[in-house]
Structures are given as structure tokens and as C-alpha cells.
Chain A
């Protein structure tokens, strides 16, 4: 049967994708190097931000490759890498139930409160 709907539950990569490379009984390598997500801190005081992904055999190689691929122009001073298979993501189909309830809680915002103009330092 033709598959009409594709869903990707974890990370950006779909469940079908095997993360770590494994070696069969014959010792022959079956899979490409695992995929890693790269996060870069652009300068001290800022958060690490997702910049993309790459393939590497292990964490050390992932960091070295991330240095070459994502920081050729001083874009970062710190790198995090995490194997993509360990990233769990919310499902876009659940967006309505997850985020819409926040819509009707305007009282969470300071602008909700109508106060006299002469009131200062608040």
C-alpha cells in the first residue's frame, strides 16, 4: 500500500534511521557513521545554539569536525555535540493541544494590567 503520510517522531531524522554504526558478525561495517547534532556558543555569556548536524564515528571526531564545518570564521568558542538519536522532539500534530492553551492567558503578560500613568518604577 502506498504510504501517504510521513511522520518523523524523533529529532529531524525519522525513526527509521539507525544512529550508531554497528558491526555485523562478519565484522563488516553496515552503516554510515552516526549523525550528531551540533550546538555552538558564539561567545561567553550566550546560549549554545543549534547550528546543524554532521556524521562522525564518535564524540571526539564530531567535535573536531564541527570545529571545521561550523566555526571557520570565529563563529564559536564552545561546541556541544549530541548523537541525533538521543534527541526527542514534540510532534507538530500536537501543536494545538500543547501550545494553544497559552493563548488565552494574557494575564501572564505585564501589559495585561491597566494601571494609572502616574504610577512609576513598576
Chain B
């Protein structure tokens, strides 16, 4: 019993040293790789963040998938297909990165399907018109890029590498979205109205994507220290608002915020109060499409079960035949 206690104390003492060494590495901008020692909390935080990000990519395919068959022409359809395929790819890069931390793919799916894991609240809003493909590309992907570019320098190597690929591909997503809105904004009065309506619906949910205000985001300080996060939610949100407030001028449309105006003193745009009640409601599962999205994922998983099993059985049979041939 005594020896057991000593052992534990030694291990705990070592843990403290390890944690110090770990922080020194982070401070020196040395990337952490999967086999390196890391605090359990760092591992857990990353698993949560990366898997949540992966789930967002996969669930994010649903609102856009809704419009593939109804794209207005072949060019738009091909682009939308490629974009949705990219989202699938991004989900896969990210699931792989999370798996290096010791969680299995099936566990992550299980967490998504049971509602334990979250995904970006934005995908719980419906896509009601074709213009929404434009607003999603411009605003939703724009906000995502704002979040993701700093993640290319995340302290965790596999996550940073995945994000480099994601960011490279994401830029076409945003540009194609703006192009859709630009085309509509130069079209008929009905098309202009459709574009404006879409921006009206997507603007506020997009700026909520950056997450709660800094003083209500308790994990931010530790995540910044570990360089999992490089900027705070409010910093990124402000950057995004500043950029969009200028870009909207090219569309000759308006951002649905009467309080949005340039503040000479601050060198930034001021903007109106965010409806945080709505944000927390959507996170809690009460958004317009939460149930629909999760049901679609669960259905895909359940109806794909026989394919997964058949492929495994086929591979086993083929391996066996090969072995027999060699014998």
C-alpha cells in the first residue's frame, strides 16, 4: 500500500514537470505531435474542438445538398457538387486528425448521433432560396475562414496540417458564394429581393458563429495559452464585420443592422446587439432544423450499415481466396 502511494506521488510530481516542459514547447512555437506527452485536458479539449469541427463539415453538407438538384444551371450545379464534396473531404481530414488523439471514428459518430457532441449552430437554419447558396458561401464560409486561418498555426500538428488543406480549398467556396450574390444583385428586381432576403436571414447567425462573447467564453484563456486558439471570439467577429461592411457595398445591398456604422475613433465598425438568447436556444437543440439535421445523419449511418458490413465481408473473402491461391 505504501509503495503504491509513493508511486502515485512520483507520477504526479512527474506530471507537473511534464506540464511545464509542455508549456515551454508551446511557448517556443514547437508543434505538439500525437505521440508526444500532453496534459489530459489538452487532449480532451482538442478532441472536442476537432470532432466538433468535423461534425460541422459533415452536417454542413445538408443545407447545401438541398439545392444541388435545383441549381439554376449546369455550371452552378457542378460548382455546388464540388463544394459539397469538399465539405465531405474536410470532415474526413478532421476526423483523422482527431483520431490521432486516441478517439475512434465510431465513437465520434456515436457522440454526434446521441447529441453529446455539438456542431456549428449555423447549420440548424434552413436554406429557403437559391440565394442562400450565395449567402452561405459569402457569409458562413467567410466566417469559417476567419476562424480557420489562425488554426493553421494551431499548436497540435495534425490539426494545423489539416487546416492548411481546408483553408486552401475553402477560398473558392467563399468566392463562388459572393459571385452568386453579385449575379443576383445585378439581375431583376425579384432577384435582388431574393439576395437581400437571404442576407437578412444569414447575417446574424453568421456573426454568432464566432461563439459567445469573450467574457462568457470560459475556455478561451486556457486555449490561448495552449495556442489552440490564437484570437478571441470577439476579435475575430470584429474583423469579420469590418470586412463584410465594406464588401456589401459592391453588392449594393444592405446588412440588416441599423447600428452598423464606421467608428473613426476605434478604426472599426460598430454593430448592434446580438440576440444571444437565439444563439443559446439553437445550441440547446431548439433551432429550426436541429432535429431534421440529426435525423438525416442518423438515417445515413443506419442505412449505410449493410454497406459497411458487406465491404468488410468482401475484403475478408478476397483475402481468404488470395491466401488459398498462394497455399
Contacts and interface: CB of A to CB of B under 8 A. Distances in A.
Interface in B1-26: 8, 11-12, 14-15, 18
A57 interface: yes
A61 B11 contact: no
B89 interface: yes
A43 to B, nearest CB: 17
A102 interface: no
Nearest to A95: B36
A12 B100 contact: yes
Contact of B36 (A14, A33, A35, A92): A92
Contacts of B100: 12-13
Given A4-B11, A6-B43, A12-B100, A57 B35 contact: no
Interface string A48-60: 0000111101100
A86 interface: no
Majority secondary structure, B binding face: helix
Contacts of A53: 96, 99
A23 B313 contact: yes
A21 interface: yes
B169 interface: yes
B27 interface: no
B35 A8 contact: yes
Contact of B34 (A1, A12, A23): A12
Which of A4, A7, A70 is most buried by chain B, counting CB atoms within 10 A of its CB?
A4
A4 B34 CA distance: 16
Contact of B312 (A57, A91, A92): A57
B239 interface: no
Interface range on chain B (Cβ under 8 Å from partner): 35 or more
Contact of A57 (B96, B106, B314): B314
Interface string B149-177: 00000000010011000000100000000
Contacts of A17: 104
B311 interface: yes
Contacts of B86: 72
A5 interface: yes
A69 B314 CA distance: 22
Nearest to A61: B311
A91 B33 CA distance: 11
Interface residues of A, number: 33
Interface in B52-73: none
Given A52-B96, A55-B105, A4 B15 contact: yes
A32 B307 CA distance: 12
Interface string A65-106: 000111011000000000000000101100000000000000
A67 to B, nearest CB: 11
Nearest to A65: B92
Contact of A33 (B97, B158, B312): B312
A73 B33 CA distance: 27
B100 to A, nearest CB: 4
Contact of B309 (A6, A14, A29): A29
Contacts of B12: 4
Which 7 A-B residue pairings sit nearest by Cβ, starting from the closest? A58-B315, A57-B311, A12-B34, A57-B315, A12-B100, A8-B35, A53-B96
24 contacts: A4-B14, A4-B40, A5-B15, A5-B18, A8-B102, A12-B100, A12-B158, A13-B100, A16-B102, A23-B312, A23-B313, A23-B316, A32-B105, A32-B106, A32-B308, A52-B93, A53-B96, A58-B315, A69-B89, A69-B92, A72-B82, A72-B89, A89-B35, A92-B33
